[in-house]
Amino acid sequence: MSNKNDLEAYFGLPNDVRFCTKCVMSNQRPTSAIEFKHTKESKKTTMHFDEDGVCDACRTAEIKDGIDWGMREEELIKLLDKHRKNDGSYDCLVPGSGGKDSAYQAHVLKYKYNMNPLTVTWPPILYTDYGLQNWKNWLDSGFDNISFYRNGKVMKLLTKLSIENLLHPFQTFILGQKNFAPKIAAQYGINLIFYGENEAEYGNPLADNMSSLRDKSYFSFENLDEIYLAGVSIKELMENYGVRLSDLMAFLPTKIEDLDKANIEVHYLGYYLKWTPQEVYYYAVENTGFKARPHRTQGTFSKYSGIDDKIDDLHFYTTYIKFGIGRTTYDASQEIRNKHLTREEGVALVKRFDGEFPDRYFNDVMEYIGMEPEYFHELCDKFRSPHLWGKDMFGNWKLRHNVVGNGLDD
Amino acid sequence: MNSNIRKVSIIDYQLGNLYSVKQACDAVGMNVLITSDLDEILNADALILPGVGAFNEAMNNLKKNGLDTAIQNKVNSGVPIFGICLGQQLLFTESEEFGAGKGLDLIPGVIKRFPEAIDELNIKVPHITWNTVFKYNQDWKNTAFRELENNEFMYFIHSYYAEPNDEACILSMTNYSGVEFCSSVKINNIFATQFHPEKSASKGISIYKNWAVNNNLL
């Protein structure tokens, strides 16, 4: 057995691996970062655990139990009344791909609170058939929508580079998800944007969850030199990869001065309305024609979340490689916090499904970005932090520590 | 308030799957309150004893608040009780679980752990799965199981199971990797399941409904 303090920890992760005593999350979970500042050298900040060994996400869930949701709804109605328009123009904007969350957001805003939302879609990198159908069903349940299809060649290049440089296949989607909506809002003169849950629900510092506003630093910039896409500077992308600035504009955030001029507020609806993923799913099924995927999502046990992008499964496989946290760990922790699973069940699910290789769509993704599957696996091995991974006596990679307690060094 | 409304206490001793149990009770229209308040429990028309976790910790928590004698007195006076999972196990005399001791002793019998292996066949513990329950010693017709087929699937998560001294109280048995164990009991006003009916889809919810109907709780 090796002394764990001798083993290098990549990405600024904590050397000592610990698991929350209430859910199954580990202390290696990075908090939200600004996607367009992400480089190879970036150091992660990770989720805080308190002296009782409980993670911030569980503490947030406890706080949620004590919130007076009636008061919050009154706050919401006040906010909506301030922005409400009766001249037929859009008064708020809901970004979404047609998954359960955006479907719920748009539907309650329009049909419960009588707003007039414009929905906007930065489509998944590779829509699944189920995801595309859910998107159509969503709009058919009564919404206007603007979808943006970005330059496919640049999209492929950036997605490939983000895997090579950061082992982060989902980055191009996240960039659009955060940056696209404020631009459209500015063009249409809409001052109010709604996202769903605050990332703090899943482990940003607790204070982040005390406000309904999303921090502007996530979707605005002051200087082009500070921006990196796929870990590469804009200058380098233009000089070394022959990409024009005009082809990159769709991926970039809004300039801070444009944003301030447009006077846009970005709010989390999850601050105002109690957000339980399973309840949101049932709402979307009943109201927007949402359908779960008939098969279990690889790497986890669920069928209803993150099912519209073929690359999503691979994304969670890479979090398993980089942080030792696979999709089951994320999903089970959420379900435990919402009291739909016990920790014992969560541990059993992690043991059974976490880190399962997502081969259902893997070849489609590799073909799309033009990468050899073997090369992807070689890249993975480069991103395995020594403090998390070791090889067993048969030469197979194994986590040194897991929540089951049967890791290589447990 | 209509004083005829029958009150059911879901006993909260800080170890339990209270949320899903309450959801199930609400779904069938029972008037339930999650509580650890002694007066509330003493005034209840029926008790539900849920539970997840360790036997000894559960008993200690019950004793701390004097809930153990309250439950015993209520049940001995004929008030219906529904135990679930660990809540079933607590109704028995004692447990073999490490560090555990006496239970509520409302049903004579012991709590045992699944063996690690039988005939060199490894048994995965805990037993977490949907598994079938089959009839044993009692007809289900007039019980909370009346809407269940023989060999109905129910959801289990546990490492220990009950072994009653008198098999007559066994309402169903279940087979896990060759171990046949008692998966539910019914004796007079006591009814309990090792599995989680509240996590066993519509057939599971029917158990809550029919228990409530049988005991006039709706």
- CATH number of the domain to which B172 belongs: 3.40.50.880
What are A177's two structure tokens? 């998800």
Give me the mean pLDDT over the A69-73 stretch.
Answer: 96
Pairwise CB contact (< 8 Å): A348 & B126 = yes
Q: Does B213 touch chain A (CB under 8 A)?
A: no
Nearest to B157 among A339, A340, A345 (CB): A345
Q: Which of A163-167, A173-177, B119-123 has the highest mean pLDDT?
A: A163-167
Pairwise CB contact (< 8 Å): B20 & A339 = yes
Answer yes or no: is B2 within a domain: no
pLDDT at residue number A219: 76
**SS3 of residue A380 by DSSP:** helix
Q: Does A345 touch chain B (CB under 8 A)?
A: yes
Q: How far apart are CA A281 and CA B124, in angstroms?
A: 32
Mutate to test the interface with A, among B34, B157, B158 (most CBs of A within 10 A): B157
Task: Give A1's pLDDT tier (boundaries 50, 70, 90).
Answer: very low
Structural domain boundaries enclosing B205: 8-214
Q: What is the DSSP string of B122-165?
A: E--SSEEEEEEEEE-SS-STTSTTTTPPTTEEEEEEESEEEEES
Pairwise CB contact (< 8 Å): B52 & A344 = yes
pLDDT at residue number A197: 85
Q: Does A340 touch chain B (CB under 8 A)?
A: yes
Chain B, window 128-187: residues with a beta carbon less than 8 angstroms from a chain A beta carbon: 128, 157
Residue B32 pLDDT more than 90? yes
What are A73's two structure tokens? 């709804």
Q: How far apart are CA A160 and CA A331, in angstroms?
A: 27
Answer yes or no: is B79 within a domain: yes
Cβ-Cβ contacts under 8 Å, A342 against chain B: 17, 52, 157
Segment A108-123, tens digit of pLDDT: 999 999 999 999 999 9
Answer yes or no: is B55 within a domain: yes
Q: Does A342 touch chain B (CB under 8 A)?
A: yes
Q: How far apart are CA B66 and CA A103, in angstroms?
A: 49
User: Quick check: bond before B126 cis, omega within 30?
Assistant: yes
Pairwise CB contact (< 8 Å): B157 & A342 = yes
What's the gap in Å between the CA of B19 and the closest CA on chain A? 7
Segment B75-107, tens digit of pLDDT: 999 999 999 999 999 999 999 887 778 999 999
Span of A31-40, A393-402, B76-85 with lowest mean pLDDT: A31-40
CB within 8 A of A408, min separation 6: which ones?
Answer: A390, A392, A398, A399, A400
Of A180 and A215, more confident: A180
Q: Does A348 touch chain B (CB under 8 A)?
A: yes
ipTM at complex level: 0.76
Pairwise CB contact (< 8 Å): B20 & A344 = no
| Minimum CA–CA partner of A336 in chain B | B17
Segment A246-300, tens digit of pLDDT: 999 999 988 888 888 888 888 999 999 999 999 999 999 999 999 999 999 999 9
Pairwise CB contact (< 8 Å): B52 & A348 = no
Predicted TM-score (pTM) of the model is: 0.87
Mutate to test the interface with B, among A345, A349, A352 (most CBs of B within 10 A): A345
Q: Does A278 touch chain B (CB under 8 A)?
A: no
Residue A4 pLDDT more than 70? no
Q: What domains appear along chain A, each with residue ranges and CATH number? A: 69-272 (3.40.50)
Average pLDDT over chain B reads: 93
> Which positions of B are annotated as active-site residues?
85, 196, 198
Give me the mean pLDDT over the B156-183 stretch.
Answer: 95
What's the gap in Å between the CA of A272 and the closest CA on chain B? 22
Closest C-alpha to A189, from A258, A247, A251: A258
Residue A200 pLDDT more than 70? no
Task: Give A32's pLDDT tier (boundaries 50, 70, 90).
Answer: confident
Burial class of residue B192, CB neighbours in 10 A (0-12, 13-18, 19+): buried
**Token pair 């580079």 in the structure block, residue:** A161
pLDDT at residue number A210: 62
Answer yes or no: is B1 within a domain: no
What are B64's two structure tokens? 């701390």
Phi, psi angles (nearest 5°) of residue A235: -60, -45
Q: Does A21 touch chain B (CB under 8 A)?
A: no
How many independent structural domains does chain B possess?
A: 1
Average pLDDT over chain A reads: 92
pLDDT at residue number A207: 57
What are A265's two structure tokens? 């507020």
- Helix (H) or strand (E) segment spanning residue B210: helix B201-214
Residue A202 pLDDT more than 80? no
Q: How far apart are CA A113 and CA A96, in angstroms?
A: 19
Q: Does A339 touch chain B (CB under 8 A)?
A: yes
Answer yes or no: is B3 within a domain: no
Of B16 and A87, more confident: A87
Chain B, window 40-59: residues with a beta carbon less than 8 angstroms from a chain A beta carbon: 52
